[in-house]
Amino acid sequence: MMNGFHPEDISDEELDRQRDLYGPFTDVLRDLVDAGIRTEVGEAEIHGVQVELEAIVARLRERQIPGAYGVRYTSSRRSRAWGNSVVGVRNAIAPPLRVHWHPDATGEVWADFELGAAYEGPPGLVHGGICSLLLDQLLGESAGCAQRAGMTATLTLTYRAPTPLGPLRGEAWVDRHEDRKTWCRGHLIGPEGVTVEAEGLFIQPRTPRGSDTPAPPD
């Protein structure tokens, strides 16, 4: 089992330097994932590229962390979940969503993004499970924005209409809360309106975690 927790004590300047380095690098990996699905070049070229990529993987693995990325903090407690499957700056699986938090910690969050070939389920449509993946993250960040960050306890998705690949918007907000429980709601919006609605229950840990900061992750 991998342990993803790697505390660090880097400065805000170092964090910015790392984002400038890894952001564009991971964007190329995303581009490569898309090209890998859609390419129709010949068999010899696929074989050739495969050999080159194997060599590149070996070079990148010459020095690497033993497990997953985890959530890390700077000395000023800015957090970064760069391995996260939805928002991770260094994770090519993540679109990544850049989630905006309402500055008054109301719990309102939103993100505009575009999904390509890698997020397909039915032909030309976003995979229903990808919709639930993105909404789980958005609802969780909504609880975080309201300073009530916790783990997902339940999540219910209602699919109103097919979600087309292309430009989309996600929104979430806090519906109500009671003790350590926070109920959040949200939806995805396509060019023709709401496609998927979500409601989730998030439960705060008894001992507040470091990630319960009122600022969005970097």
Please give the residues from 95 up to 114 whose contact with its own copies meets the rule CB under 8 A: none
Nearer to its own copies, 103 or 180 (CB): 180
Q: Of the candidates 9, 13, 104, 123, which one interacts with its own copies according to CB under 8 A?
A: 123
How many residues make contact with its own copies (CB under 8 A)?
90
Burial of 123 (0-12, 13-18, 19+ CB in 10 A): exposed
By CB under 8 A, name the one of 15, 70, 171, 187 that touches its own copies.
70
**CA dist., res. 21 & res. 182, Å (int):** 36
Size of the chain in residues: 218
Task: Compute how many other C-beta atoms are within 10 angstroms of the C-beta atom of residue 163.
Answer: 25
Site string for its own copies, 16-35 (x = CB under 8 A): -----xx-xxx-xx-xxx-x
Nearer to its own copies, 120 or 175 (CB): 120
- CA-wise closest residue to 126 among 186, 196, 187: 196
- Residue whose CB is less far from its own copies, 83 or 107: 83
Spatial contact of 67 and 2, defined as CB atoms under 8 Å apart: yes
- Which are the contacts of 13, defined by CB distance < 8 A and separation ≥ 6? none
Nearer to its own copies, 11 or 154 (CB): 154
| 6, 76 Cβ separation under 8 angstroms | no
Q: Which member of 10, 105, 113, 155 binds its own copies (CB under 8 A)?
A: 155
Stretch in the footprint of its own copies (CB under 8 A) among 8-16, 44-52, 105-113, 168-176: 44-52
Assess 207 for contact with its own copies (CB under 8 A): no
In terms of CB distance, is 12 or 114 closer to its own copies?
114
Alpha-carbon gap, residue 156 to 95, rounded angstroms: 22
